[in-house]
């Protein structure tokens, strides 16, 4: 796996809000608009269980953990991309066995805020709330998109309390 650039390569979780610059990262993703939040596990499973193999057939490798990138705040539905950062651009559309289509995209570069969540996915909403508050207290303004890197790959035998998810948000440019 090619190395991910900072801050995506952080070996240790961020225990508080950090502000930094991040490069644009090429991705291979499934894009969904108005996707029902209740069906998110099916989208994640239907993407992540097949995507690495489909990319390998194209000579493309994931260079980091699975992620989801949101273009607006999810309520009942979400506008999002789910996939992997990759080592080469995906130039054609791939169809996964789950029926989802994969295209090339990117995570934007620029000034970002980030932090880490350690624990089950059910605690992510609370962590996002605390993160948003910390960003505001630092006199920064979050903007879209925002994204999550699922640093710890889940498996059936694991303790959900040990999952690490890194949270990121693009910030308004400084004038």
**80-90 pLDDT tens trace:** 999 999 999 99
pLDDT of residue 1: 46
Where along the chain do its domains lie? 21-171
CA distance 15 to 92: 39
More confident residue, 80 or 1: 80
Q: Is the pLDDT of residue 25 over 50?
A: yes
Query: pTM score, two decimals?
Result: 0.94
The whole-number average pLDDT for the span 5-18 is 93
Of 34, 78, 71, 66, nearest in space to 145 by CA: 71
Quick one: fold of 21-171? Multidrug-efflux Transporter 1 Regulator Bmrr; Chain A (3.20.80)
CA distance 166 to 152: 10
Beta-carbon contacts of 54 under 8 Å, excluding residues fewer than 6 positions away, are 94, 96, 102
Cβ count within 10 A of residue 40: 17
CA 111-119-20 angle, 5° bins: 10
CA distance 84 to 67: 6
CA distance 173 to 175: 6
């Amino acid at each position: 796996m090619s190395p991910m650039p900072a801050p995506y390569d952080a070996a240790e979780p961020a225990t508080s809000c950090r502000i930094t610059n991040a490069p644009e990262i090429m991705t291979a993703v499934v894009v969904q608009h108005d996707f029902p939040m209740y069906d998110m596990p099916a989208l994640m499973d239907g993407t992540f269980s097949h995507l690495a193999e489909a990319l390998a057939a194209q000579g493309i490798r994931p260079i980091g953990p699975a992620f989801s990138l949101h273009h607006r705040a999810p309520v009942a539905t979400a506008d999002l991309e789910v996939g992997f950062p990759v080592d080469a651009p995906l130039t054609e559309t791939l169809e996964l066995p789950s029926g989802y289509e994969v295209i090339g995209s990117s995570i934007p570069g620029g000034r970002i805020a980030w932090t880490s969540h350690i624990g089950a996915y059910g605690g992510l909403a609370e962590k996002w709330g605390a993160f948003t508050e910390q960003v505001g207290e630092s006199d920064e303004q979050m903007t879209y998109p925002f994204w999550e890197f699922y640093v710890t790959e889940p498996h059936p035998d694991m303790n959900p309390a040990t999952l690490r998810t890194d949270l990121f948000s693009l910030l308004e440019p400084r004038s």
